[in-house]
Structure 1
Amino acid sequence: MNQFHRIGVVGLGTMGSGIAQVLAASGRDVVAVEADQTRAEAGIAAVGAFLDGGVARGKVSDDEKRATLARITTSTSLSDLADVDLVIESVTENPEVKREVLAAVAAVVGDETPIVTNTSALSVTALAASLPNPARVAGLHFFNPAPVMRTVEVVRALQTDQDLVARLVTLVDSLDGKQPIVVKDRPGFLINALLLPYLNDVIQEYDDGLATAEDIDLALKLGLGYKSGPLEMLDMIGLDVHLHATENAYAATSDDRYAPPPLLRQMVDAGHLGTKNGKGFRTGEKNTR
Structure 2
Amino acid sequence: MNQFHRIGVVGLGTMGGGIAQVFAMSGRDVVAVEADRTRAEAGVAAIDAFLDGGVARGKVSGEEKRAALARITTVTSPGDLAGVDLVVESVTENLEVKREVLAAAALAVGDETPIVTNTSALSVTELAALLPNPARVAGLHFFNPAPVMRTVEVVRALQTDQGLVDRLVALVNSLDGKQPVVVKDRPGFLVNALLLPYLNDVIQEYDEGLATAEDIDLALKLGLGYRSGPLEMLDMIGLDVHLHATENAYAATSDDRYAPPPLLRQMVAAGRLGTKNGKGFRAGEKRTR
TM bucket, shorter chain: over 0.9
Aligned-partner Cα distance in 2 for 1:227–1:206: 20
Residue identity opposite 2:152 in structure 1: V
- Partner of 1:144, secondary structure, is coil
Q: Do structure 1's residue 263 and structure 2's residue 255 form an aligned pair? A: no
- Residue in structure 2 matched with residue 85 of structure 1 by the alignment: 85
Aligned-partner Cα distance in 1 for 2:7–2:283: 36
- Residue in structure 2 matched with residue 239 of structure 1 by the alignment: 239
- Residue in structure 2 matched with residue 279 of structure 1 by the alignment: 279
Aligned-partner Cα distance in 2 for 1:275–1:131: 38
- Residue in structure 2 matched with residue 171 of structure 1 by the alignment: 171
Whether the 8 Å contact between 1:6 and 1:85 is mirrored in structure 2 is: yes
Aligned-partner Cα distance in 1 for 2:127–2:283: 35
Q: Out of 141-150 and 277-286, give the one that drifted further.
A: 277-286
- Residue in structure 2 matched with residue 37 of structure 1 by the alignment: 37
Shift of 1:285: 7.9
Q: Out of 192-201 and 97-106, give the one that drifted further.
A: 97-106
Aligned-partner Cα distance in 2 for 1:82–1:180: 27
- Residue in structure 2 matched with residue 138 of structure 1 by the alignment: 138
- Residue in structure 2 matched with residue 181 of structure 1 by the alignment: 181
Q: Out of 202-211 and 267-276, give the one that drifted further.
A: 267-276
Shift of 1:278: 3.8
Whether the 8 Å contact between 1:88 and 1:117 is mirrored in structure 2 is: yes
Aligned-partner Cα distance in 1 for 2:284–2:239: 14
- Partner of 1:263, secondary structure, is helix
Runs of 4+ in 1 over 3 A off after TM superposition: none
Aligned-partner Cα distance in 2 for 1:214–1:284: 11
- Residue in structure 1 matched with residue 119 of structure 2 by the alignment: 119
Aligned-partner Cα distance in 1 for 2:150–2:100: 30
- Residue in structure 2 matched with residue 5 of structure 1 by the alignment: 5
Residue identity opposite 1:177 in structure 2: G
| 1:27-66 mapped onto 2 (5 Å cutoff) | 27-66=27-66
Whether the 8 Å contact between 1:55 and 1:61 is mirrored in structure 2 is: yes
Aligned-partner Cα distance in 1 for 2:59–2:168: 26
Aligned pairs, how many?
286
Whether the 8 Å contact between 2:128 and 2:159 is mirrored in structure 1 is: yes
- Residue in structure 2 matched with residue 190 of structure 1 by the alignment: 190
Aligned-partner Cα distance in 2 for 1:263–1:285: 18
Residue identity opposite 1:47 in structure 2: I
Residue identity opposite 2:54 in structure 1: G
- Partner of 1:218, secondary structure, is helix
Residue identity opposite 1:239 in structure 2: L
Shift of 1:275: 2.7
- Residue in structure 1 matched with residue 15 of structure 2 by the alignment: 15
Shift of 1:276: 2.5
- Partner of 2:91, secondary structure, is coil
Aligned-partner Cα distance in 1 for 2:96–2:208: 36
- Partner of 2:163, secondary structure, is helix
Shift of 1:277: 1.3
- Partner of 1:187, secondary structure, is coil
- Residue in structure 2 matched with residue 214 of structure 1 by the alignment: 214
- Partner of 1:209, secondary structure, is coil
Q: TM-score, normalised by structure 2?
A: 0.97
| 1:193-204 mapped onto 2 (5 Å cutoff) | 193-204=193-204
Residue identity opposite 2:156 in structure 1: R
Aligned-partner Cα distance in 1 for 2:149–2:121: 18
Aligned-partner Cα distance in 1 for 2:145–2:283: 18
Structure 2 residues without counterparts, runs of 5 or longer: none
CA distances 1:208-237 after superposition (whole Å, capped 9, x unpaired): 111110000000000000000000001111
Aligned-partner Cα distance in 2 for 1:283–1:80: 42
- Residue in structure 2 matched with residue 26 of structure 1 by the alignment: 26
- Partner of 1:280, secondary structure, is coil
Shift of 1:27: 0.1
- Residue in structure 2 matched with residue 162 of structure 1 by the alignment: 162
Residue identity opposite 1:275 in structure 2: T
Whether the 8 Å contact between 1:17 and 1:43 is mirrored in structure 2 is: yes
